[in-house]
Amino acid sequence: MFTSHLATRLLALSLALFGMAAHASVVINNTRIIYPQNDKEVTVRLESKNQAPVLIQTWLDSGDEHSTPESTAIPFIATPPIFRMEPGKQQVIRLAYTGEPLSSNQESLFWFNVLEVPAQSQNAEQGNQLQLAFRSRIKLFFRPPNLPYSVEDAPGKLQWRRDATEQGQVLEVYNPSPYHVTFDEVELLDSQQRHARKASVSGADNMVIPGGRNRFELPSLKSPPGAAATIEFQTIDDFGVKTSHSVKVSS
């Protein structure tokens, strides 16, 4: 059985290595999690691509990528929270809402974390090998019932405008819907020239929250576009499928 001391060590290792460029070998078989409020629980499936056993810790947070299970207080429980995962095996994680009040008129966003620590080898015990922890995070959208329209309608509700700043031309998007809208590509098409948004540096750059705004810089667009310019963007739905949209530019 894993102890709280081991859990603390796992989290410390996670925070120390979180920013490193590495790839986890335990795969989350979802790109996002949708939690309808009326459901008793939802499940997430993990699959190990490792050649050796690993230790796994799971938890949820409200947006702090440096969170730990001890430091975050949110109304969800992940079961099992800590376990050993054998090579090539799968594990179902059950996520249960504990009932604390959340918004009833829009989605709430949380993050599901998976920390993977390889079992210590004999070389590591002798100090000849560095053991790396890998941490993966995906979004969890908590969706109350009786929202005014379906999530598929949300991209069509977005309001776009072009603006100019000291840094150059930008696109601003306002989301009046009760859903989070996640983007893949965002481009401005003007006179057969495509101007892509500046590369994102975080998950927040790829999304606009309910009632919120986001701005996308267009580094290659050096002057205001013509009247016929259009915004072409892709959104990602509940199943990770990309859908293309096109709207006229307004100032």
Q: Residue 99: which CATH number?
A: 2.60.40.10
Label residue 168 left, alpha or beta by phi (over 0 means left) and psi (-120 to 50 means alpha).
left
Task: Note whether 54 and 85 are within 8 A (CB).
Answer: yes
Residue 155 inside a domain? The answer is yes
Range 2-11 average pLDDT: 49
pLDDT tier at 71, thresholds 50, 70, 90 = confident
* Domain boundary, last residue among 100, 115, 143: 143
Range of the domain at 184: 151-248
3-state per-residue secondary structure call for 70-120: CCCCCCEEEECCEEEECCCCEEEEEEEECCCCCCCCCCEEEEEEEEEEECC
Q: What is the per-residue pLDDT for 17?
A: 42
Residue 13 inside a domain? The answer is no
Residue 30 inside a domain? The answer is yes
Identify which of 51, 121, 49, 56 has the alpha carbon closest to the alpha carbon of residue 85. 56
Is the pLDDT at 211 greater than 50, yes or no? yes
Residue range 17-36, pLDDT digits in tens: 443 334 578 999 999 999 99
117 by Cβ neighbours in 10 Å (0-12 / 13-18 / 19+) ranks as buried
For residues 27 and 111, state if they share a domain.
yes
For residues 125 and 183, state if they share a domain.
no
* Domain boundary, last residue among 89, 111, 143: 143
* Domain boundary, last residue among 143, 173, 194: 143
For residues 129 and 49, state if they share a domain.
yes
Residue range 95-148, pLDDT digits in tens: 999 999 999 999 999 999 999 998 765 554 555 555 678 899 999 999 999 999
